[in-house]
């Protein structure tokens, strides 16, 4: 690792002008490219306070061995140069958007003598017009099959086209009027090109003139009693209308825009784009990106726009989820590339806001699917477990990991969760929930839940002894379950309902709730939480279970007693697994906390008034309209409610105002 101080530029040598800078490794390879309104201010921020930087930025600085820069005149020029250098050098520490799949396009090869309509993937070719992208190739073929009736453009390969010309006989599509058969001279090259241009115009959204033209020709044919031709034209109109129906109308007919939405977590982000042309969704595309540098939604949007529209067609309006930091310069750059004004907007209401929410749901689903594919890979899980073992200096890979999280709002309804991952996969039948008895802060809550969990483990072990191999094998095949869980008399969470049975004690017939010890205990938090968990285990005499804490803010791994965190590499599968475990514990804790809070909110001070049943409570609420107005009422006003006597009214007043009721006789 290099010391950033060894290559820090001399004071005063960095200009204050806008520009673009490059960090290079010892071999001269560019590892990061950035832009700045003021190069001096931006570069000094890297070297002024190394300890205060994000860990990913620290890694970049210790990997680099030198930094250089180029001064430009404006922020727009800085954006252009930054994009060019990122494309040229492919720096490892810059955000890189990659397709989450290879999307098919409908392509028309206008650069050929006889343009061809086909499905294409991969890099775009010069002289070819592209429409899409589409989610599936079959969707393109369905659309093309409908449009060939009206625009009989060539779809055959070069070999088929050449052979048909040699034998003087067209292919099947030529005989059924779905190809104008330029291969045998039925149309001239200019006539065929005109058909291809009309096909492109229709796909580009200029649909109205074609339908109107066919309707006019149909009426003219019917007027002169050419009914067969009129019927064919009618079928052509219906084919065009069916092709249009396949493209959902979402905005006004004159709306051309791209709708971009993000879904992100601390490590990755998914981007989805819907292409709207003529008010209709013409295509969709998605990317997944590793967040190798610290970036918020605005920075991600800016980097995405630069990479996406570096070569692609730019619409006149782009809807984004957040404004980029250099919005004015970015709009100027995009407008310059388009040749006319480009509007960058964050929709706030109406149809565009609704469409943005739809695209955002797609982005979230894309990110979830990406995580699922990544988690299901056995090789990846094995590597993740080994990386955790290496980073924490464990004797073996942690095949069973338990993670604990605490959830509350201002110390009320404090709960904790325990989730279990075995071999890198969630074991929901082993999840547990705890209702915290003391409300002295998160650290005390972690200490309590660890004590309770492992006290029960020691009790189970003392009562039943070591689990035999047969039971362990059966436990390895436990299934998933729901989030609902019951509670025993001691306040421990029971196993989640619906999963496979947990190990059964042969003597009592009851499940062994806490019989299995983990290899690693993870707590959601920093050094204080990790120390509390370790203290609980030490007091119980348990010394064969590793402990660590995972802090949310910087994704740092803290070991008990260490002054400095363990920083796992940004691309580490081990960090990714720890994050998934922590997020699952957080989700499970919040689910229980919300359930408990909802239950407490439904309880009322009226529930504890002697002799006041549900019917009279409802009558009181109907009469006064709310508990607030009832609390302000006097005992005499409360007695106006049918069925409420003097003693009951006074008891209600005392309960709602926190007073002791005065002695009184029983109300009538």
Mean residue pLDDT of the chain comes to: 77
Range of the structural domain that residue 278 is part of? 257-374
In the predicted model, what is the mean pLDDT of residues 249-255?
Answer: 62
194 and 336 in a single domain? The answer is no
In the chain, % of residues over pLDDT 90? 5
| CATH number of the domain encompassing residue 84 | 3.40.1440.10
Strands (E) across 253-372 are located at: 257-264, 268-277, 280-290, 317-319, 343-345
272 and 370 in a single domain? The answer is yes
d(C-alpha 85, C-alpha 73), whole Å: 17
Higher pLDDT, 194 or 288: 194
The answer to whether residue 472 is domain-embedded is no
Indicate if the pLDDT at residue 263 is higher than 70. yes
279 and 336 in a single domain? The answer is yes
CA atoms in the 13 A half-sphere facing the CB of 636: 0
The whole-number pLDDT of residue 666 equals 41
293 and 366 in a single domain? The answer is yes
Confidence of residue 495 (pLDDT cuts 50, 70, 90): very low
The whole-number pLDDT of residue 493 equals 38
The answer to whether residue 505 is domain-embedded is no
The whole-number pLDDT of residue 34 equals 87
Kindly state the DSSP code that residue 298 receives in the 8-state scheme.
Answer: H
The answer to whether residue 473 is domain-embedded is no
Give the DSSP H/E element, type plus range, for residue 421. Answer: strand 412-422
In the predicted model, what is the mean pLDDT of residues 496-500?
Answer: 33
In the predicted model, what is the mean pLDDT of residues 70-95?
Answer: 80
Tell me whether residue 339 is exposed, middle or buried, using C-beta atoms within 10 angstroms of its C-beta: 0 to 12, 13 to 18, 19 or more. Answer: exposed
Indicate if the pLDDT at residue 47 is higher than 60. yes
The residue length of the chain stands at: 668
175 and 322 in a single domain? The answer is no
Confidence of residue 338 (pLDDT cuts 50, 70, 90): confident
28 and 174 in a single domain? The answer is no
d(C-alpha 104, C-alpha 122), whole Å: 8
The answer to whether residue 14 is domain-embedded is no
Higher pLDDT, 509 or 415: 415
Lowest mean pLDDT among 79-88, 211-220, 651-660: 651-660
The answer to whether residue 227 is domain-embedded is yes
Confidence of residue 205 (pLDDT cuts 50, 70, 90): low
In the predicted model, what is the mean pLDDT of residues 76-94?
Answer: 79
The whole-number pLDDT of residue 171 equals 86
Indicate if the pLDDT at residue 169 is higher than 50. yes
In the predicted model, what is the mean pLDDT of residues 480-505?
Answer: 37
DSSP string of 571-622?
A: T-HHHHHHHHHHHHHHHHHHHHHHHHHHHHHH--GGGGSTT--HHHHHHHHH
172 and 316 in a single domain? The answer is no
d(C-alpha 309, C-alpha 339), whole Å: 13
Number of domains comprising the chain: 5
In the predicted model, what is the mean pLDDT of residues 653-662?
Answer: 65
The answer to whether residue 481 is domain-embedded is no
Please, are residues 538 and 447 in contact by the beta-carbon 8 Å criterion?
Answer: no
346 and 273 in a single domain? The answer is yes
Please, are residues 395 and 401 in contact by the beta-carbon 8 Å criterion?
Answer: no
Indicate if the pLDDT at residue 494 is higher than 50. no
The answer to whether residue 24 is domain-embedded is yes
The 3-state DSSP class for residue 650 equals: helix
Cβ atoms < 10 Å from Cβ of 501: 12
The whole-number pLDDT of residue 465 equals 54
Indicate if the pLDDT at residue 293 is higher than 70. no
The whole-number pLDDT of residue 547 equals 92
The 3-state DSSP class for residue 273 equals: strand
Indicate if the pLDDT at residue 521 is higher than 90. yes
The whole-number pLDDT of residue 83 equals 78
312 and 408 in a single domain? The answer is no
Lowest mean pLDDT among 30-39, 88-97, 266-275, 540-549: 88-97
The whole-number pLDDT of residue 489 equals 31
Cβ atoms < 10 Å from Cβ of 18: 22
Indicate if the pLDDT at residue 247 is higher than 60. no
Higher pLDDT, 187 or 668: 187
Q: From its phi and psi, is residue 185 left (phi > 0), alpha (psi between -120 and 50) or beta?
A: left
The whole-number pLDDT of residue 605 equals 61
349 and 437 in a single domain? The answer is no
Q: Which residues fall within 8 angstroms of residue 548, CB to CB, at 6 or more apart?
A: 392, 520, 521, 522, 523, 530, 557, 558, 559, 560, 566
Q: How do residues 143-163 score in pLDDT, each as one tens digit?
A: 787 778 778 888 888 888 888
Indicate if the pLDDT at residue 12 is higher than 50. yes
Indicate if the pLDDT at residue 261 is higher than 70. yes
The whole-number pLDDT of residue 655 equals 77
Vertex 142: Cα angle to 141 and 147 (nearest 5) = 95
Indicate if the pLDDT at residue 502 is higher than 50. no
The answer to whether residue 451 is domain-embedded is yes
Indicate if the pLDDT at residue 49 is higher than 80. no
d(C-alpha 579, C-alpha 585), whole Å: 10
Domain boundary among 36, 55, 89: 89
Domain boundary among 51, 66, 89: 89
Higher pLDDT, 151 or 547: 547
582 and 434 in a single domain? The answer is yes
Confidence of residue 522 (pLDDT cuts 50, 70, 90): very high
Domain boundary among 54, 89, 124: 89
Q: How do residues 304-321 score in pLDDT, each as one tens digit?
A: 888 788 666 788 889 999
328 and 439 in a single domain? The answer is no
Give the pTM. 0.44
């Amino acid at each position: 690792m290099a010391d950033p101080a060894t290559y820090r530029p001399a004071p005063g040598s960095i200009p204050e002008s806008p520009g673009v800078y490059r960090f290079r490794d010892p071999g001269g390879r560019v590892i990061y490219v950035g832009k700045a309104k003021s190069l001096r201010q931006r570069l000094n921020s890297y070297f002024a306070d190394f300890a205060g930087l994000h860990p990913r930025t620290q890694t970049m600085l210790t990997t680099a061995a030198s930094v250089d820069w180029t001064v430009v005149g404006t922020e727009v020029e800085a954006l252009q140069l930054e994009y060019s250098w990122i494309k040229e050098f492919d720096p490892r520490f810059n955000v890189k958007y990659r397709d989450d799949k290879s999307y098919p396009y409908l392509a028309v090869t206008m650069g050929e003598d006889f343009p061809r309509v086909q499905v294409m993937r991969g890099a775009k070719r010069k002289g070819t017009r592209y429409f899409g992208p589409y989610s599936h190739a079959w969707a393109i073929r369905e659309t093309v099959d409908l449009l060939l009736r009206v625009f009989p453009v060539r779809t055959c390969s070069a070999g088929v086209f050449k052979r048909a010309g040699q034998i003087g006989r067209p292919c099947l599509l030529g005989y059924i009027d779905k190809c104008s058969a330029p291969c045998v001279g039925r149309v001239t090259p200019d006539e065929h090109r005109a058909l291809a241009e009309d096909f492109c115009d229709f796909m580009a959204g200029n649909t109205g003139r074609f339908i109107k033209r066919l309707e006019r020709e149909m009426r003219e044919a019917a007027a002169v009693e050419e009914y067969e031709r009129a019927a064919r034209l009618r079928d052509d109109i219906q084919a065009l209308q069916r092709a249009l129906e396949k493209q959902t109308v979402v905005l006004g007919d004159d709306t051309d825009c791209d709708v971009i939405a993000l879904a992100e977590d601390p490590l990755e982000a998914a981007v989805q784009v819907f292409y709207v042309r003529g008010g209709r969704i013409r295509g969709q595309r998605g990317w997944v990106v590793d967040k190798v540098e610290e970036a918020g939604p605005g920075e991600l949007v800016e980097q995405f726009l630069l990479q996406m529209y570096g070569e692609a067609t730019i619409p006149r309006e782009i809807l984004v989820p957040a404004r980029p930091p250099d919005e004015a310069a970015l709009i100027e750059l995009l407008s310059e590339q388009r040749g006319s004004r480009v509007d960058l907007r964050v929709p706030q209401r109406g149809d565009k806001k609704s469409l943005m929410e739809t695209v955002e749901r797609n982005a979230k689903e894309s990110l979830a699917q990406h995580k699922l594919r990544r988690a299901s890979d056995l090789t990846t899980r094995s590597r993740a477990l080994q990386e955790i073992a290496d980073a924490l200096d464990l004797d073996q890979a942690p095949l069973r990991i338990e993670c604990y999280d605490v959830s509350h709002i201002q110390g009320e309804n404090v709960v904790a969760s325990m989730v279990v991952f075995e071999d890198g996969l969630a074991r929901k039948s082993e999840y547990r929930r705890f209702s915290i008895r003391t409300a002295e802060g998160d650290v005390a809550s972690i200490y309590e839940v660890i004590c309770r969990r492992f006290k029960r483990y020691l009790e189970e072990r003392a009562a039943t002894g070591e689990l035999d191999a047969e039971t362990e094998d059966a436990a390895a095949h436990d299934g998933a379950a729901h989030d609902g869980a019951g509670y025993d008399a001691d306040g421990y969470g029971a196993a989640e309902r619906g999963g496979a049975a947990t190990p059964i004690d042969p003597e009592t017939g009851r499940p062994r709730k806490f019989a299995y010890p983990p290899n690693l205990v993870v707590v959601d938090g920093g050094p204080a939480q990790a120390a509390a968990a370790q203290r609980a285990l030490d007091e119980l005499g348990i010394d064969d279970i590793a402990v660590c804490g995972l802090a949310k803010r910087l994704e740092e791994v803290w070991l008990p007693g260490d002054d400095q965190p363990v920083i796992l590499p940004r691309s580490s599968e081990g960090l990714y697994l720890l994050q998934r475990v922590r997020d699952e514990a957080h989700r499970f804790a919040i689910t229980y906390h919300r359930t408990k809070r909802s239950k407490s909110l439904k309880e009322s001070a009226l529930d504890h008034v002697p002799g006041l049943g549900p019917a009279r409570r409802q009558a009181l609420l109907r009469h006064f309209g709310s508990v607030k107005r009832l609390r302000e009422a006097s005992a005499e006003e409360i007695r106006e409610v049918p069925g409420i006597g003097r003693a009951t009214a006074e008891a209600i007043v005392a309960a709602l105002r926190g007073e002791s009721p005065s002695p009184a006789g029983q109300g009538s």
